């Protein structure tokens, strides 16, 4: 499978989709209150090492792909609707470039590993996620929502022992009502 994915990614990059292009665009276009990453370096770390999402095909407007996020970064610039499109271009895809649970489960599988593992496999995560509300906002630090758990996954990159429990199904006492 890894060989197939690498081949697919190489073909996609030739078509104009790459983490480098995506991160350059999203960090240049989505700034200030619409910023999705603290820096281009953080975006590249997310795109190349953490998210493990498909590159996709240039011009995609939906799906959990880098291409979809790149398209929405472009739409944020050309439409002037940054508040609408920048979240779609960000790490979660905001329910447009990937369903909330797809983003959550991909992140939790790659960030909360070893003794910090929250789910034994993707299917278990997806099943658990269907019971977690998606009514929060990107960046929420509390509340029983997928968005809160994703925010704590962002923090878990630097401190998994402290934040992976908050990203678990039960919210670890933080992502709760």
Q: Provide the pLDDT for residue 55.
A: 94
Q: What is the pLDDT of residue 66?
A: 96
Low-confidence ranges of the chain (pLDDT < 70): 1-15
CA 92 to chain CA mean position, Å:
3
Task: Yes or no: say if 149 and 104 are a contact pair by the CB < 8 Å rule.
Answer: yes
What's the whole-model pTM score?
0.79
Please report the pLDDT score of residue 11 as a whole number: 37
Structure tokens at 110: 């790659």
Domain residue extents for the chain: 17-98, 99-176
String of DSSP letters for the chain: -HHHHHHHHHHHHHTT--HHHHHHHHHHHS-GGG-SSS-HHHHHHIIIII---B---TT--SSSBHHHHHHHHHHHHHHS-HHHHHHHHSSSGGGTSS-HHHHHHHHHHHHS-GGG---SSHHHHHHHHTTS---S-TT-SSSSSHHHHHHHHHHHTT-HHHHGGGGSTTGGGTS--
What confidence score (pLDDT) does residue 153 get?
A: 92
The pLDDT of residue 113: 96
Residue 7 has a pLDDT of 35
54 phi and psi angles, rounded to 5 deg? -65, 150
Task: Dump pLDDT digits (tens) for 132-145.
Answer: 999 999 889 999 99
């Amino acid at each position: 499978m890894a060989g197939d994915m690498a081949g697919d990614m190489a073909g996609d990059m030739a078509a104009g989709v790459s983490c480098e292009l995506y991160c350059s665009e999203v960090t240049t276009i989505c700034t200030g209150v619409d910023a999705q990453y603290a820096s281009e370096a953080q975006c590249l770390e997310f795109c190349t090492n953490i998210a493990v999402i498909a590159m996709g095909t240039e011009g995609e407007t939906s799906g959990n792909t880098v291409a979809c996020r790149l398209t929405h970064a472009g739409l944020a610039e050309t439409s002037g609707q940054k508040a609408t499109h920048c979240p779609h271009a960000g790490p979660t895809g905001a329910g447009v470039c990937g369903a909330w649970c797809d983003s959550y489960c991909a992140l939790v599988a790659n960030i909360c590993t070893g003794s910090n593992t929250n789910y034994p496999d993707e299917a278990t995560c997806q099943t658990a996620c269907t019971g977690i509300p998606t009514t929060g906002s990107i960046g929420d630090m509390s509340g029983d929502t997928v968005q809160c758990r994703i925010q704590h996954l962002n923090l878990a990159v630097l401190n998994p022992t402290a934040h992976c429990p908050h990203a678990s199904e039960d919210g670890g006492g933080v992502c709760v009502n």
